[in-house]
Structure 1
Amino acid sequence: MRIQTEEWRRFIPGVRMYKGKKTLFYNGETLYDEVTGEYFIYSEEEQELWKVIIILPGVEVIPQSTFNSGNLEAVIMSDTVKRIEESAFVYCKSLEFVKLSRNLECIGENAFCACFSLLSIFIPPSCREIGDVAFAACHKLINFNVPQHTRLGEHVIGNTALIRGSTFELNQYGEYDASINTNINNWIKNINGNDAEFALHRACSSYYPMTQIIYEIVKRQGLMSFKKKNQIGITPLEYLEANPFAEDIDQNTIMKRYVLEMMGEAV
Structure 2
Amino acid sequence: MRIQTEEWQRFIPGVRMYKGKKTLFYNGEILWDDDENEGWLIYDWEEQQSWEVLIVLPGVEVISRKFFSTCEKLETVIMADDSVETIEESAFAHCRSLKFVRLSRNLEFIGKGAFLHCTSLTSIFIPPSCREIDNEAFQYCSKLIIFNVSRQTQLGEHVIANTALIRGSPFKVSSFFGNYENTEEVNQWIKGINEDDTYELHQACSSFNPLIEIIYGIVKRKGPCAFHKKNEIGMTAVDYLEANPCIENEIDQNVLMKRYVLEMMGEAV
Q: Same fold (TM over 0.5)?
A: yes
Helix, strand or coil at the partner of 1:22: strand
The equivalent position to 1:167 in structure 2, one of 162, 166, 170, is 170
Distance 1:39 1:18 in 2: 23
- Per the alignment, residue 12 of structure 1 pairs with 12
Cα displacement (A) at 1:246: 2.2
Shift of 1:193: 2.3
- Give 2:183's aligned residue: 181
Contact 2:4 2:248 in 1 (8 A): no
Q: Structure 1: any 5+ residue segments left out of the alignment?
A: none
Q: How does 1:124-139 map to 2 (within 5 A)?
A: 124-139=127-142
- Identify unmatched segments of 5+ residues in structure 2: none
After TM superposition, give the deviation of residue 177 of structure 1 in Å.
3.8
Partner residue in 2 for 1:198: 199
**Structure 2 residue aligned with 1:266:** 268
Q: Counterpart in 1 of 2:32?
A: 32
- Which residue identity does 1:55 align to in structure 2? V
Mapped contact 2:171–2:180 kept (Cα < 8 A): no
Name the amino acid aligned to 1:42.
Y
Q: For residue 55 of structure 1, report the CA deviation from its aligned partner.
A: 0.2
Show the counterpart of 2:117. Answer: 114
Q: Which residue does the alignment assign to 1:237?
A: 238
Is 1:219 matched with 2:213?
A: no
Moved over 4 A (4+): none
Please report the RMSD computed on the Cα atoms of aligned residues, expressed in angstroms.
Answer: 1.2
Q: Does 1:75 align with 2:53?
A: no
SS of the residue 2:246 aligns to? coil
2:55 aligned counterpart, secondary structure: strand
The match for 1:62 is 63
Q: Does 1:152 align with 2:155?
A: yes
- How many positions carry a matched residue from both structures? 265
| Correspondence for 1:250 among 249, 252, 266 | 252
Partner of 2:229: 228
Measure the CA separation in 1 of the matches of 2:180 and 2:23: 40
CA distance in 2, matches of 1:120, 1:75: 13
Q: Does the 8 Å CA contact 1:86/1:109 hold for their aligned counterparts?
A: yes
Percent identity, aligned pairs only?
A: 63
Q: 1:36-92, CA deviations, whole angstroms, 9 ceiling, x for partnerless residues?
A: 151111011111111000001111111111002011000000122111111110100
> Which amino acid is 2:113 matched to?
N
Name the TM-score, length of structure 2 as normaliser: 0.95
Q: TM-score with structure 1 length normalisation?
A: 0.96
CA contact (8 A) 1:22 1:52 kept: yes
